[in-house]
Amino acid sequence: METSNKVLLQHFCLHHEVELSFIDSLHEYGLITIVVFNDDKYILAEDLKEIEKMAHFYYELGINIEGIEVIISLLLQNDTLRRELNNARRKLLAYESSF
């Protein structure tokens, strides 16, 4: 298995001063993906920004895992609604410009 798009979990935790149990909790709540290969745990490189954001919520703002789950869900909903609104605006502008 190729590990070029993955980051060794231990390295991430050491670099960001994050506990392994925190990352395991994020995984248990389905917020991130952990890949196990040769008894080593990896996180996906594409998830790094989100994990860093969740670590900020947890360590610096004192928000528990359940709260982080709610925040992430609301942020995803917000992004979806923003895309839908932008699509509706484009369609409305196209409709108005045809008259």
Residues in CB range of 96: below 8 A, 6 or more apart:
none
Residue 23 CA to residue 9 CA, distance in Å, equals 8
Is position 41 within any domain? yes
Sign, CA dihedral 63-65-71-75, equals positive
Residue 81 CA to residue 65 CA, distance in Å, equals 24
Q: For residue range 39-57, list pLDDT tens digits in order.
A: 999 999 999 999 999 999 9
Is position 1 within any domain? no
The CATH number of whichever domain residue 31 belongs to comes to: 1.10.1660.10
Full domain range(s) for residue 22:
6-97
**Count of domains forming the chain:** 1
Is position 13 within any domain? yes
| pTM higher than 0.85 | no
Q: For residue range 55-92, list pLDDT tens digits in order.
A: 999 999 999 999 999 999 999 999 999 999 999 999 99
